[in-house]
A and B are shown apart, each in its own frame.
Chain A
Amino acid sequence: MAGEYSAFHPLIWGLFGGFVVLVVAVERLFRAKHPDYPGAPEKREDRVNP
């Protein structure tokens, strides 16, 4: 297949993009389905963003 030795292999980058979307979507859906799911004892802003 063309591009097999390119840094921009369209199929692989497409699959990787799909993987990122899927993982984030699963996490968001999980949060929506289990709003009371336990977690850290204290919620701090610095847990979310560096």
Chain B
Amino acid sequence: MPASIDDLVVRVADICEYKWDMVRNRPLAYLLTGFAGGAMVVFGATLALSVSAGVGDIAPGLSNLLMGLVFMFSLVIIMVSGMTLVTADMYIGIVGIFHRRIGWGWFLWGVVLGYIGNFLGSMFFMWLISLSGPYNLAPWLLKSHAIGVAKLGQTATQTFVMGIVCTWMLQTAAILYVKANEDISKIAMAAYGPMAFVAGMTEHCIANIGFLALPLFQQDTWLALATQTGIDAPILLHWGFGQYGWAHNQLYTVLGNLVGGILFVGLVFQLVSNPKRVAEIYKSKTNFMLKI
């Protein structure tokens, strides 16, 4: 049986105690957990690109399903290994604030440090992929660029709303991972999150860091291919703000991801729990730290 929602918020507060203990006392270790977590997310992005190249031209929905199916174990390996994915952890900090485990200042510092670690891991891994042979061959090169055009071409509003949807789905899965008690149910809950947000075509800032950097790293190779194959008016991507800009997508995805996870998951679960029952649980507690 999964834990009650009252037990759940206490567990989450204990996980917050563990994570922010690392933020306070071993910030470089926390940064490393972010680096590993960021790379693990784009393990999934790389697999998604690998299996979906060419499929979208025939069956776009099937392409989304394939991408989701290979992406879904990213959160499982992050959770099982105890690494950090900032977009899956925001609810932990918010519940921790309600339980007086951390203040707003520490919450913000934890999110920033986690984001920096995730950024480095996601970007570094995809830079390595950009140097590879297979991903510079036509089907994968074209698919990578097509994903870049589709995502970076979206307006601010389109990106923001899909950012909200992404962490609403992802952090629902992450908090249910904590609620579940058996290994198999934990794995199922964690797998649901990435599958839903990838198959659902949403915007995830850490996945997008590397996933949308890849076509930029490969743009010269893609341009040579586009010239050879006679593509009219090729769309060029860039790192800045504006249409087809990496920074434009990242900014509005981060804002949407913050709203989705904090407002629709962390706050909702905390407010649904019963304060009197939570107080009863605390009376018998001796340990206030839980490793995820």
Q: Is the CB of A12 within 8 A of B248?
A: no
Within 8 A of B (CB), among A12-50: 12, 15-16, 19, 22-24, 26-27, 30, 34, 36-41, 43, 46-50
Of the candidates A1, A41, A43, which one forms a contact with B157 in the assembled complex, judged by CB atoms under 8 Å apart? A1
Q: Is the CB of A47 within 8 A of B100?
A: yes
Tell me the interface secondary structure of chain B in the complex.
helix
Most interface-central of A15, A39, A43, A49 (chain B CB within 10 A): A39
A48 CA / B275 CA spacing, docked (Å): 22
A4 CA / B235 CA spacing, docked (Å): 19
Interface size classification for chain A: 20 to 34
Q: Given the complex, which residues of B lie within 8 Å of A1, measured CB to CB?
A: 155, 157
- How many residues of chain B have a CB within 8 Å of chain A? 39
Q: Given the complex, which residues of A lie within 8 Å of B262, measured CB to CB?
A: 19, 23
A39 CA / B104 CA spacing, docked (Å): 15
Q: Given the complex, which residues of B lie within 8 Å of A23, measured CB to CB?
A: 94, 262-263, 267
Q: Given the complex, which residues of A lie within 8 Å of B17, measured CB to CB?
A: 40
A39 CA / B170 CA spacing, docked (Å): 26
30 of the cross-chain contacts (CB-CB < 8 Å) are: A5-B155, A5-B245, A6-B156, A9-B157, A11-B157, A12-B156, A12-B157, A12-B160, A12-B255, A15-B259, A16-B258, A16-B259, A19-B258, A19-B259, A23-B94, A23-B262, A23-B267, A27-B97, A27-B98, A30-B98, A34-B275, A37-B275, A37-B278, A38-B99, A38-B282, A39-B99, A40-B17, A40-B100, A40-B288, A49-B105
